[in-house]
Structure 1
């Protein structure tokens, strides 16, 4: 009987297998021989017992290779034995090997299909959570695909181990201690495959000897996890020596497909999550704003509307045109805008007034652009509408307030300056009297100076108000000489400061197109500042320099060095300069330098301050002609 023959040749078969197989695979091959012997004895066999579940991989290549070795060893031993085998037994023997091979192929196919089905429901607890992804992959992989699974997350170019699981937890613990893979090796997103860890020199150096010995790893496959073009980590599948399994080329292809499929599903889940998150943010943003989004068909009728504020007043606006709420003139203008958008494809913004009910109007800012179908044909319009009624009301109130302030300042300036002019005129006439006593004359001179100072302060306040509410000062440029203005201002200041030396040095031409009155105000403010805050008894020096396109004026005085952090603040309103003499009280409102810079900038020029070595210099630069 063939079964008895197989028992007799068993040692010879195993000896042959031992010479061509690895020691850890011999136990599994001996099991195949025993299953074959039992089948021949009972004349019947159950294909499902050929390989236990723990031995069956996703691909049958490894098993079929081992089965072929067993078949060759059995046939060689039978040929060398003195026992004869009947034709019936020979056919039964051949059938066993064929059925075993077909069964394993069929089981591998079924398992692959089952895993594909499993992957269709694959999703992590949070698609953007790498550790959640790792737990799901590992939970699916062990023990069906591998005895163990290790997953490392890629963070900042370095790997961090986030998951390791397997049948033997004591063995798996050592995997946490094993060195992490090099991120650069996975930059190409190619899988790494090691058929036999013990015989692979590179892997032996990568894993610590203690970990290698304790875990008894036989083979491994490392596959990158790539989601939306970004490598999030790497998953490593491992087989153990005592299982008799070793990954082959078919397993590597399947594991690549497994992780790729998982990554694709995770990518879709992540995109859906981001889309929901973006839509929710968009919804919240619109719900708390006054922006309306709309679409209209080719006839201008609203076909889609989101966040409409007007429906509170007029009911549903779907299927209606905005023109229904406009005057004929505005309706015609809106028709023209819509026609322009459809014909040119340009984006157009316009303001309209909607009369939502009698006596109630809303100002709307409309943005239109063409709505196209998949064939890039214009099928209507899309855009946004913003209710700017409150903004228009506030703008009108602001303009009215500014106009009122202008009128008040004009009246204030006129009503204050007229009495001052009268006082100055009377004082001037009295000073012409040569018979005045000295004490009376001195008193009149003080009154004259005080009225002039008050007049300058009123002018400063008016100028400050104009710059605050209008952004710049009005100027009337005309051909003039800055040198002549400087000479005039210096002559006036010498009278007021007879004990101070004021000098002017001119290099080149100082002619240009500027406002003479405003330029005199600038020069007076700069020189007056130098006289007020400079060291007593020291000269104030002016240097004019003209080149082909520009003219500059530098006003220099001796005094305390001003810190850099305070220099720029000198041009702020109500900022007092640094006084050399601490006993002197601050004079004026602190608006002189601010107004001087505003005048210069109104001319398109610059005014800066520098201070070093007990010296302060203010320099203005003007183009001869405004661009």
Structure 2
């Protein structure tokens, strides 16, 4: 009976490893993988392992099957692992040389580890291991090369599909057709683009084409997972899987369904899928080919969108330029844009006419070349200041004298910086206004103002002096003894006419002040309205002795702050107006009433009422007189009531009129006791 072996498992493994290549690969697998991974990283120039998971991917299983094959024979090798490894490397963009270098580095790591151990392999073990490794390398490289060639051939055919520059849907269908021709197990394929919250089928070939093309598929569980992970999906039985939302695919009895996201950088553009009714899965070669087709489709979709954006941007830019040109030509301003070197970029016709050069001649030319030295020097200083400070300069006045024509042209110019949307300085702009007509109008207006001042001086001084002499002489003649009735009537007419002329001169001067001088000046002080009106009526009574001019007062307090000269002027104009239009045998009655905050002045006369058509413009200047010429009454300039209205408003009061055949005509003036605030202007 044999005694039990008391040695440990590790000791058994160490003993079994002596001379066995298979045991050596199993025992040292982890260290070999680590050494190989570092060698790959160093060879590819990567400083840090970005994707260790896909870099290692199938290598642990490949080492295990390699050990099994050394021990049991080549039938232990799993070709599917070799193909999967090659497909993974192809998808990551490795070329054939890099795949070969991977296996060369693996072989070097194994040999280096064998040299480092004390016990050599048994005779023939190294040869068997080398033979199995060569089989793996050969099949991997063969699959990689054949698949690469197949993809390149398909890509050549895909390139042919784009030669006539078809529209996007046509090109996508051609790409899918080339895929079906190259992958015999593919029975249907389609491209869906993301539009809002759904995927829309833009191209489809094979089974169910008519039913799926144009279909709108909501983002279901499957598509949402793919949107989130940006990874392909695979369904083994599409006809029964509830995640498949395209009903035609379910009706066609599809088995394998493989889809990949179409990406534009980090943005999902859509989904491409291929399906088979005969196969439950797709080969690695077919999936690699489908990825190549999908990448080409995604690139074309992005290119079409880019071209559409470029076209839209170009069209928008052309429209904007057309609008800008139309605006520049329509505005009555000279507009110019100059670059940082003060060369003209764009001008409109108005500015070109100022420089006496066509628009085309300005482009690329300097300011000095177009405007001349006399104007260019001050303008350049201002423009460079705008560029240095980035601030606008406004209301710059320029002038140029044409000695040959004997004329001077004046301009007002605003200069401003021209920037992009992000604030980068592009140049300087100028807006030029020809103000020559305005300057000439100013000169003409100044002449008119000077003439006005001279005329007002004549009215206010030169005419008043002889008029006062006439009035005084008439007064003296009227008091002379021994005048007969005819002489007395003549003197009375002289006195009345001179008084009327005096009032007309006052009205004209006040009218000129309101229209050109900013209003009638008012100097208010504390006065008694009763005393003012009594004095004014007494003066009028001397001029009109034959007409009763009674004054009535109601209430006790008739004091306030008013301009006494203006109050008597208002009362005089109203009374004289009433005397002209009242019956010759009737009095003109003035009434003063204490109305609390106001003092109310009423001037009443009997006679023909004011015509209704004249009432709305009764206080307008230069209105037609309501007295017909054949009535023998004096015609008026129509300024008296206008001056009344202006004076009352300057005091903050109001004037109204009531006129009828039964009641007669009454002008009512409200005088506020408290003066208005300084700077008051009539409404």
TM-score of the two chains, using structure 1 as the length reference:
0.50
What SS does the corresponding residue of 2:656 show, helix, strand or coil? Answer: strand
Aligned with 1:477 (options 523, 526, 535):
523
Cα distance in 1 for residues equivalent to 2:444 and 2:568 = 36
Residues 208 and 252, structure 2, Cα contact 8 Å, conserved in 1:
no
Residues 555 and 593, structure 2, Cα contact 8 Å, conserved in 1:
yes
Aligned with 1:394 (options 413, 416, 441):
441
Cα distance in 2 for residues equivalent to 1:54 and 1:566 = 86
Cα distance in 1 for residues equivalent to 2:420 and 2:356 = 31
Cα distance in 1 for residues equivalent to 2:318 and 2:503 = 68
Residues 541 and 557, structure 1, Cα contact 8 Å, conserved in 2:
no
Residues 127-526 of structure 1 aligned to structure 2 (within 5 Å): 275=320, 278-286=323-331, 289-295=332-338, 297=340, 305-306=347-348, 307-308=350-351, 309-312=353-356, 318-320=366-368, 325=374, 345=391, 348-355=394-401, 361-372=408-419, 376=423, 381-408=428-455, 410-411=457-458, 416-465=463-512, 467-468=514-515, 470-472=516-518, 475=521, 477=523, 479=525, 481=527, 483=529, 484-495=531-542, 496=544, 498-505=547-554, 508=557, 510-512=559-561, 514=563, 516-526=564-574
Kindly tell me: are residues 379 and 111 of structure 1, through their superposed partners in 2, closer, same or farther at Cα, counting changes over 3 Å? closer
Does 1:71 pair with 2:253?
Answer: yes
Deviation readout 1:493-543 (Å, 9 max, x if unpaired): 3442633434345764644363x4444322211233344445773653443
Deviation readout 1:401-446 (Å, 9 max, x if unpaired): 3322432454466555444433323222211213222332232112
Moved more, 387-396 or 477-486: 477-486
What SS does the corresponding residue of 2:432 show, helix, strand or coil? Answer: strand
Moved more, 315-324 or 603-612: 315-324
Residues 542 and 554, structure 1, Cα contact 8 Å, conserved in 2:
yes
Kindly tell me: are residues 530 and 586 of structure 1, through their superposed partners in 2, closer, same or farther at Cα, counting changes over 3 Å? same
C-alpha displacement of 1:487: 2.5
Kindly tell me: are residues 290 and 620 of structure 1, through their superposed partners in 2, closer, same or farther at Cα, counting changes over 3 Å? farther
Aligned with 2:211 (options 40, 44, 55):
55
Cα distance in 1 for residues equivalent to 2:608 and 2:518 = 32
C-alpha displacement of 1:400: 0.7
What SS does the corresponding residue of 1:278 show, helix, strand or coil? Answer: helix
Cα distance in 2 for residues equivalent to 1:558 and 1:341 = 78
Residues 59 and 108, structure 1, Cα contact 8 Å, conserved in 2:
no
Residues 560-579 of structure 1 aligned to structure 2 (within 5 Å): 566-576=614-624
Cα distance in 2 for residues equivalent to 1:533 and 1:337 = 70
Does 1:94 pair with 2:140?
Answer: no
Deviation readout 1:213-249 (Å, 9 max, x if unpaired): xxxxxxxxxxxxxxxxxxxxxxxxxxxxxxxxxxxxx
Residues 532 and 568, structure 2, Cα contact 8 Å, conserved in 1:
yes
Kindly tell me: are residues 279 and 501 of structure 1, through their superposed partners in 2, closer, same or farther at Cα, counting changes over 3 Å? same
2:51 maps to none
Cα distance in 2 for residues equivalent to 1:300 and 1:513 = 64
Kindly tell me: are residues 386 and 414 of structure 1, through their superposed partners in 2, closer, same or farther at Cα, counting changes over 3 Å? same
C-alpha displacement of 1:64: 5.3
What SS does the corresponding residue of 2:638 show, helix, strand or coil? Answer: coil
Kindly tell me: are residues 283 and 465 of structure 1, through their superposed partners in 2, closer, same or farther at Cα, counting changes over 3 Å? same
What SS does the corresponding residue of 2:411 show, helix, strand or coil? Answer: strand
Deviation readout 1:293-322 (Å, 9 max, x if unpaired): 45575x988776544243118996834398
Residues 510 and 546, structure 1, Cα contact 8 Å, conserved in 2:
no
Deviation readout 1:542-566 (Å, 9 max, x if unpaired): 4366877x87755556677768875
C-alpha displacement of 1:113: 10
C-alpha displacement of 1:448: 1.4
Kindly tell me: are residues 377 and 266 of structure 1, through their superposed partners in 2, closer, same or farther at Cα, counting changes over 3 Å? closer
1:617 maps to 667
C-alpha displacement of 1:57: 1.2
Moved more, 455-464 or 308-317: 308-317
Deviation readout 1:238-265 (Å, 9 max, x if unpaired): xxxxxxxxxxxxxxxxxxxxxxxxxx99
Kindly tell me: are residues 382 and 465 of structure 1, through their superposed partners in 2, closer, same or farther at Cα, counting changes over 3 Å? same
Cα distance in 2 for residues equivalent to 1:432 and 1:547 = 44
Kindly tell me: are residues 339 and 585 of structure 1, through their superposed partners in 2, closer, same or farther at Cα, counting changes over 3 Å? same
What SS does the corresponding residue of 2:356 show, helix, strand or coil? Answer: helix
Cα distance in 2 for residues equivalent to 1:96 and 1:482 = 118
What SS does the corresponding residue of 1:537 show, helix, strand or coil? Answer: coil
Kindly tell me: are residues 384 and 524 of structure 1, through their superposed partners in 2, closer, same or farther at Cα, counting changes over 3 Å? same
Residues 553 and 620, structure 1, Cα contact 8 Å, conserved in 2:
yes
Q: CA RMSD for the aligned pairs? A: 5.6
What SS does the corresponding residue of 1:571 show, helix, strand or coil? Answer: coil
Kindly tell me: are residues 325 and 552 of structure 1, through their superposed partners in 2, closer, same or farther at Cα, counting changes over 3 Å? farther
Kindly tell me: are residues 507 and 592 of structure 1, through their superposed partners in 2, closer, same or farther at Cα, counting changes over 3 Å? farther
Deviation readout 1:354-377 (Å, 9 max, x if unpaired): 457687543221224444566647
Cα distance in 1 for residues equivalent to 2:252 and 2:389 = 80
Cα distance in 2 for residues equivalent to 1:490 and 1:118 = 97
Kindly tell me: are residues 588 and 320 of structure 1, through their superposed partners in 2, closer, same or farther at Cα, counting changes over 3 Å? same
Cα distance in 2 for residues equivalent to 1:507 and 1:577 = 38
Cα distance in 1 for residues equivalent to 2:609 and 2:282 = 103
1:537 maps to 586
Residues 363 and 387, structure 1, Cα contact 8 Å, conserved in 2:
yes
What SS does the corresponding residue of 1:282 show, helix, strand or coil? Answer: helix
Cα distance in 2 for residues equivalent to 1:562 and 1:463 = 25
Kindly tell me: are residues 599 and 368 of structure 1, through their superposed partners in 2, closer, same or farther at Cα, counting changes over 3 Å? farther
Deviation readout 1:182-212 (Å, 9 max, x if unpaired): xxxxxxxxxxxxxxxxxxxxxxxxxxxxxxx
Does 1:587 pair with 2:635?
Answer: yes
C-alpha displacement of 1:94: 2.1
Kindly tell me: are residues 355 and 523 of structure 1, through their superposed partners in 2, closer, same or farther at Cα, counting changes over 3 Å? same
Cα distance in 2 for residues equivalent to 1:504 and 1:65 = 105
Cα distance in 2 for residues equivalent to 1:373 and 1:269 = 17
